[in-house]
Amino acid sequence: MATDLANSTSDQLEISCQSCGAKLVVEAHLRSTLCPYCASPSIVSRPPSPNRPSPTFLVGFVVDHEHATKAVKNWVAGSHIFARSDFKAAVPELTRGVYLPAYLYGAVANTRYSASIGENYTVTETYTTTDSKGKTVTRTRTVTKTEWRPLAGNHCCYVLDVLVSASQGVTNAALEAVEPFDLRALRRYADSFISGWLAEEPSRTQDDCFRLAHDETIAKVGAMLKNFMPGDSHSNLEYQTDLSHEVIDLVLLPIWTYAVRYAEDRPPIQILVNGQTGRVAGKVPVSAAKVTFAVVGVLLLIGILFLLFMAAQG
Amino acid sequence: MNETPIAEINCIRCESPLESGDLRCAICGQAALNDQAVARKKLAIQILRCTGCGAAITYDPKHQAPSCSFCGDVVKVESIDDPMEQTEHYLPFTVTADEARAALRGWLDSRGWFRPSDLSASAQLTQLKPLWWVAWVFDAEAFVSWAADSNEGSGRSDWAPHSGQNNIQFDDILVSASRGLSLNEAAAISRGMNLATKRQTPEGADRDATLERFDVQRSQARQEVSAAIHRIAAQRAQQHFIPGTRFRKVKVAIVLRRLVTRRMSLPAYVLAYRYKDRLYRVVICGQDIRLMVGTSPKSLIKMIAVGLVVAAIALVFLLILAAGS
């Protein structure tokens, strides 16, 4: 059932609810909405454009609201000892469960690298020392040394499954914090999967996302190269990567977003929950008082130990 | 809903076959073409309605599918396909049970000087079981980047680093998926398999033959095949490309193309024989009687005798040395 009855402005779209006829305003960055009067879910399908392609894939929600809230409460209560006490006691407020747009990127990475490779070898050294009777004696010992050899070469591999956030509201670092997603459960996108849920349209340009994906891919190649180097150690690893045969697909990822208000004078903390695995991540506010107290405590302990040591030395 | 079985088509990027249910290529990540995708030209608003009661449907995490909250009807969606691996072809037995039995006697006679003298006469065959064991057979083109240490060009250290890139063609490479045979047993009898004789059904053995099943899902099978490709590529690099005669820390990175994997059931006889209250096992290739692998007893008396003779010779040698000095 589809109609084209819609008025759009540059930022918002005014539609009529097809169940009750109410006028609804859909923000430009959303591709679905719920009617506040009859709770009917509407899906907005816009013509694709370079910066707003149609989704290719989707990972469906597995974790429901109840489990996500429980996971967030546990995560907040179990945050590290330097977290603010009012944060630990705060009650998380559900903002929404949303399908977050992200790009799934892959490429062939051709890398030219150079490095110094350390090859260990052992030598027997003769040295003189003083024995227990105070006599000078000559002894031998085995010493491991490293011979450094230059190595240059090429490394070529597929880099797959790089996910970058296409939403302005969720940074790429925040998305990485709740990764990984099990991409074996990837589904081909269909409108029915987002029915009743909020789904965002990409709000970052594809160029920006490509740039983020390139950076993440090159970082992955760097990590691979560290494992690829032969020898007992390596140093001065330098590399230049060309990416070719790139594939990029828009994928919608299930995310529960929570806001935690812990102080009147502070902005709320955004906490994300992976809607597939239940993994929780967010930035925990650190208590300056706790940190100061800990530093002072450690200094005091060092001071006491020093005084005891001095007293023992007479 | 989209019901798009994708089978018998190749990835447009790396030309590896896509299997039924693959939404993207497992090798290079290229999305499979979606014939039913329609580029929308105009803005459209829609509500998806239950075909049973007409109420709006919403996606339900519990069912992991869209469902109607009024009548509970769940919309059938394209399933996530990670099926158990299934045998596609069988190789027939060309070695008979009698030939296998005779081969065991010959094999026991050829166990070397340390075998008990009465091994062949006293060993009692307790079981001879035809078995179709499971394996993947793959072909692929691989562009392999390698880096390794070898003794070639070494200086003060025993090792020097080397690197390179080569194309490697894999043809009919067999990777065991068997739980019944050990890796050593599978490797020892694999060379005798004639893949050109493949059949749609098991042939050449009694009805009581054991048919082993794959016990992994497709995604895990792909991981195991990928690990085997990396292992074999490293071996080939050592044999053909890396200079030197001794190697260590051989690393490979691979860009695969045209990976075709077949699931096969391969014939073997598993024999058990008893010698002096202990059971020993031998596996014989079902297509080549010369290929067999197994365990056999050693004669303790012969081993002690050899040890004593060696010790006596060493003692005499030391006495001569002592007398000379």
Mean pLDDT, rounded, of chain B: 87
A256–B contact, CB cutoff 8 A: no
pLDDT band for A91, please (50, 70, 90 cuts).
confident
Taking the model in full, what pTM does it have?
A: 0.79
The partner residue sitting opposite A43, judged by closest CB among B46, B219, B256, is: B46
Cβ–Cβ gap A186/B29 under 8 Å: no
Q: What is the pLDDT at residue B310? A: 95
A5 touching chain B per CB within 8 A: yes
Show residues of chain B in contact with A6, CB under 8 Å: 43, 45
Q: Which single residue is written with the structure tokens 């000087």?
A: B113
pLDDT at B1 over 60: no
Whole-angstrom Cα distance, residue B312 to residue A270?
Answer: 82
pLDDT at A1: 41
Which percentage of chain A shows pLDDT scores above 90? Answer: 49
| Structure confidence at residue A25 (pLDDT) | 74
Q: What is the pLDDT of residue B188?
A: 94
Mutate to test the interface with A, among B25, B46, B166, B246 (most CBs of A within 10 A): B46
What's the CA gap between B253 and B182, in Å, rounded?
Answer: 28
Listed range (A304-308, B4-8, B64-68, B139-143) with the worst mean pLDDT: B4-8
Q: B35 — contact with chain A (CB < 8 Å)? A: no
Whether the CB of A56 is below 8 Å from some CB of chain B: the reply is yes
Domain locations along chain B: 89-294, 300-325
The C-alpha angle with vertex B288 and arms to B285 and B291, in degrees rounded to 5, equals: 60
Question: Is pLDDT above 80 for A35?
Answer: no
Taking the C-alpha atoms of residue A67 and residue A72, their distance in angstroms, rounded to an integer, is: 9
| Closest partner CB to B1 (pick from A2, A41, A192) | A192
The answer to whether residue A49 neighbours chain B at the CB level (below 8 Å) is: no
Q: Which ipTM did the prediction report?
A: 0.78
Is the model's pLDDT at B6 over the cut of 70? no
Angle at B210 between CA B207 and CA B215, to 5 degrees: 140
Residues A194-253: tens digit of each pLDDT: 888 888 889 899 899 999 999 999 999 999 999 999 999 999 999 999 999 999 999 999
Indicate the pairing of strand A32-34 with strand A41-45: antiparallel
Q: Which of A18-32, B53-67, B95-109 has the highest mean pLDDT?
A: B95-109
Tell me if chain B has a CB within 8 Å of the CB of A161.
Answer: yes
Instruction: Count the alpha carbons within 13 Å of A140 in the hemisphere toward its beta carbon.
Output: 5
Give the tens place of pLDDT for each residue, B221-230: 889 999 999 9
Out of A41, A190, A193, the one facing B47 most closely (by C-beta) is A41
Of A2, A64, A192, the CB nearest to B57: A192
